[in-house]
């Protein structure tokens, strides 16, 4: 394994990721990123996890899901409740794992019956599902109902969150560049041909959906343990749409695009906070303009690749 | 001669239309079989029944592998493919977002030998399997002469090459029977000639049984050892190319229009 891990591409990626981490950490410690900017940064990170995981379902696999907020809510409340009883990193870890289990089971229940069918049945099922989750949360004692959950320990530190973002991106990109991932892309391209090539289409649609749901749950858990208050209104249909907007704005099927869009829209949102009256108008107008002039998203299906960059530099050198 | 595929009383109705009705057919191991008939005769529908795209309205499809007989009619397409039936499509269905090489790699799915966990964690199993897949896929592309175009988008290839890519992709599923739906459609005479040689070569090299639908009579007559003729969903004749050429029903129903 070691040999394949220590390739030049992986080393460069590691270097890039570590430098980003180092720079941001430094900026936080010197106070250049103050607590206001910090909450934006954390929101962006959570949104990156949500967007890449939804992109896996919508962009890669071509299955329209409108319930991502539901899975996020599961992760958030499970981790929130667990860490209130066990306010340690161990508690956070248990909460995250428990969130994975519950969201995976929920994802299987929602997707298996609907993904056997061709067409957009998943959209309706996930929409209903996330509403059910929200209403359950609103009416349960353990979640403290509509009043919401408070006093969740703030266990999501910057290194933990950053690590989670990196792992989520790696999982999604690894999935795309593998047999199951190629199967998912093939289903999106031509379901009949994919099936004729020996692909159990239902199985791969469900796998992609479950991975997406688990990562959304991870995002929810980390969200809960940073912002330390939860209430059911944070996980409405609007939240699912917000995530979908990031995916479409960036470019369906490109993970780099989802990351970029989460950052751009996160920063835009932060600056628009000051103009509360016209915030939604500007935000909405940006999206409409985007869809008119660049319907494929900022990056389309383009993916950032160190390999390609290296090849380009090599060719340039040879030319000189 | 041992039978590999036995079709009995196979029918498919679309509403009131009997697209395929009461077909009986035995295909032997290693044979090169042709299926001809006028437009709308039900040839593609017949393929769709054999490969699981449609469920038969009636009848049996029995596949014999390693001496064991199995009824495959109505199974899901991916199950049928995993049992060793592979096909190409009349209206080319390549994966449009993928390169030539990726199209072939995709079809090697059933023998990939690693699961989702290996894929996400990048275990040694993953790297070994991926290397094997890549090598093998390149081999198939060399067979059909598309190796040098492996990094191009599949849908950017000229028509004839897309058809050959479909053959490579079907081959990559490691089949025992290969079904080709109009493999020469849109090819010029020289390409058709090369295709004839290619099909012979693949049959011998990979121990295949080949069933093909074709309108190009010269191809069918030179290539196929046995020919079945469909008309309005019914089989009106079967036999060697010589027999078919001289069969009066066939001449009336089909060849007659051409001559
Ligand atoms: N899914 C379907 N629903 C309804 N009718 C269908 C369907 N598929 C095929 N048919 C009809 O069944 C008949 C046989 O069609 P099929 O495609 O099998 O013909 P074919 O022999 O392959 O013709 P061609 O040489 O033009 O490809 C046609 O009348 C067609 O319209
Ligand atoms: Mg046809």
A97-114 pLDDT, tens per residue?
999 999 999 999 999 888
B43 pocket-lining for ligand 1 (C-beta < 6 Å): yes
B155 → chain A, closest CA residue: A189
Mean pLDDT score of chain B, rounded to an integer? 91
Look at B77 and A207 and tell me if their CB atoms are within 8 Å. no
From the CA of B41, which ligand is nearest? 1
Closest CA to A134 of A227, A222, A230: A230
Test B95 with A194 for CB contact under 8 angstroms. Answer: yes
pLDDT above 60: residue B256: no
Q: Cβ–Cβ of A189/B110 closer than 8 Å?
A: no
How does pLDDT run across A148-196, given as a tens digit for each residue? 899 999 999 999 999 999 999 999 999 998 999 999 999 999 999 999 9
Count, residues in chain A:
320
Domains along the sequence of chain B with CATH: 1-84+175-259 (3.40.50.300), 95-172 (no CATH)
The length of chain B is: 259
User: Nearest residue of A to residue B96 by CA position?
Assistant: A189
pTM: 0.90
* Residue B1 in tokens: 């001669």
What pLDDT was estimated at residue A2? 54
Note the pLDDT of residue A11.
Answer: 86
Q: Cα(B225) to centroid of ligand 1, in Å? A: 26
How confident is residue B252, by pLDDT bands cut at 50, 70 and 90?
Answer: confident
Q: Which pLDDT band, with edges at 50, 70 and 90, does B259 fall under?
A: very low
- Ligand 1 atom at minimum distance from B182 CA: 27
Ligand with an atom nearest the CA of residue B36: 1
State the pLDDT at residue A105: 97
Asked whether the predicted pLDDT for residue B89 surpasses 50, the reply is yes
d(CA B4, CA B6): 7
Q: Are strands B32-36 and B226-231 parallel, antiparallel or unpaired?
A: parallel
Distance from CA of B192 to the nearest CA of A (A): 24
Query: With contacts defined as CB-CB under 8 Å, which chain B residues touch A193?
Result: 89, 93-95
SS3 B18: strand
User: Which residues does chain A have with pLDDT short of 70?
Assistant: 1-5, 118-119, 319-320
Q: How far is CA A258 from CA A165, A218, A283, in A?
A: 12, 17, 17
If contacts are CB pairs under 8 Å, which of residues 195-254 in chain A contact chain B? Answer: 195-201, 207, 211, 253
Neighbours of ion ligand 2 (CB under 5 A): B 44, 90
Rounded Cα gap, residues B56 and B72, in angstroms: 10
pLDDT tens readout for residues B18-44: 999 999 999 999 999 999 999 999 999
The stretch B149-157 carries a mean pLDDT of: 94
Q: What token pair was written down for A311?
A: 């090849």
User: How many angstroms does the Cα of residue B93 sit away from the middle of ligand 2?
Assistant: 14
The gap from C-alpha A138 to its chain's centroid, in whole angstroms, comes to 24
Could you tell me if A183 lies within 8 Å of chain B, comparing CB atoms? yes
Q: Name the more confident of B83 and B253.
A: B83
């Amino acid at each position: 394994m070691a040999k394949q891990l220590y390739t030049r591409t992986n080393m460069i990626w590691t270097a890039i990721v570590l430098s980003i981490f180092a720079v941001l950490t430094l900026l936080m410690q010197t106070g250049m990123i103050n607590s206001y900017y910090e909450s934006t940064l954390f929101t962006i990170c959570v949104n990156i996890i949500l967007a890449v995981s939804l992109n896996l379902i919508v962009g890669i696999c071509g299955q329209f899901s409108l319930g991502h907020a539901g899975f996020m809510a599961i992760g958030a409340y499970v981790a929130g409740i667990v860490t209130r009883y066990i306010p340690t990193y161990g508690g956070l870890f248990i909460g995250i794992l428990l969130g994975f289990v519950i969201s995976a089971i929920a994802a299987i229940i929602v997707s298996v019956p609907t993904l056997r069918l061709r067409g957009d049945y998943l959209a309706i099922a996930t929409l209903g599902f996330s509403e059910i989750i929200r209403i359950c949360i609103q009416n349960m004692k353990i979640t403290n109902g509509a009043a919401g959950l408070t006093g969740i320990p703030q266990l999501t530190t910057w290194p933990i969150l950053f690590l989670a973002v990196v792992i989520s991106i790696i999982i999604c990109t690894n999935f795309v560049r593998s047999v199951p991932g190629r199967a998912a892309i093939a289903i999106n391209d031509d379901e009949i041909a994919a099936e004729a090539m020996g692909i159990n289409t239902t199985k791969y649609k469900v796998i992609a959906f479950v991975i997406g749901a688990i990562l959304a749950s991870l995002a929810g858990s980390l969200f809960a343990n940073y912002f330390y208050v939860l209430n059911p209104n944070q996980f409405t249909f609007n939240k699912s749409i917000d995530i979908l907007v990031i995916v479409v704005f960036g470019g369906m099927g490109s993970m780099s695009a989802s990351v970029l869009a989460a950052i751009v829209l996160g920063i835009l949102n932060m600056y628009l906070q000051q103009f509360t009256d016209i915030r939604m108008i500007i935000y909405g107008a940006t999206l409409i303009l985007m869809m008119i002039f660049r319907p494929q998203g900022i990056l389309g299906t383009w993916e950032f690749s160190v390999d390609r960059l290296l090849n380009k530099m090599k060719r340039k050198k040879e030319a000189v | 001669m041992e039978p590999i595929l036995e079709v009995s009383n196979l029918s498919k109705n679309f509403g009131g239309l009997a697209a395929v009705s009461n077909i009986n057919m035995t295909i032997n191991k290693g044979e090169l079989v042709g299926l001809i008939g006028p437009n709308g005769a039900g040839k593609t529908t017949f393929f769709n029944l054999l490969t699981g795209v449609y469920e038969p309205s009636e009848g049996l499809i029995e596949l014999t592998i390693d001496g064991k007989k199995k009824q495959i009619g109505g199974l899901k397409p991916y199950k049928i493919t995993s049992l060793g039936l592979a096909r190409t499509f009349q209206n080319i269905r390549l994966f449009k977002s993928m390169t030539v090489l990726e199209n072939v790699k995709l079809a090697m799915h059933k023998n990939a030998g690693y699961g989702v966990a290996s894929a996400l964690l990048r275990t040694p199993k993953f790297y070994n399997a991926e290397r094997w897949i890549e090598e093998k896929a390149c081999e198939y592309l060399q067979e059909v002469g598309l190796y040098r175009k492996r990094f191009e988008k599949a849908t950017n290839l000229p028509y004839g090459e897309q058809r050959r890519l479909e053959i490579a992709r079907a081959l990559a599923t490691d089949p025992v029977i290969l079904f080709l739906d109009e493999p020469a459609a849109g090819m010029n005479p020289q390409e058709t000639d090369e295709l004839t040689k290619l099909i012979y070569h693949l049959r011998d090299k990979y121990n295949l049984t080949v069933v093909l639908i074709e309108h190009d009579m010269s191809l069918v007559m030179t290539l196929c050892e046995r020919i079945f003729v469909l008309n309005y969903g019914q089989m009106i004749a079967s036999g060697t190319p010589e027999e078919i050429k001289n069969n009066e029903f066939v001449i009336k129903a089909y060849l007659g229009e051409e001559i």
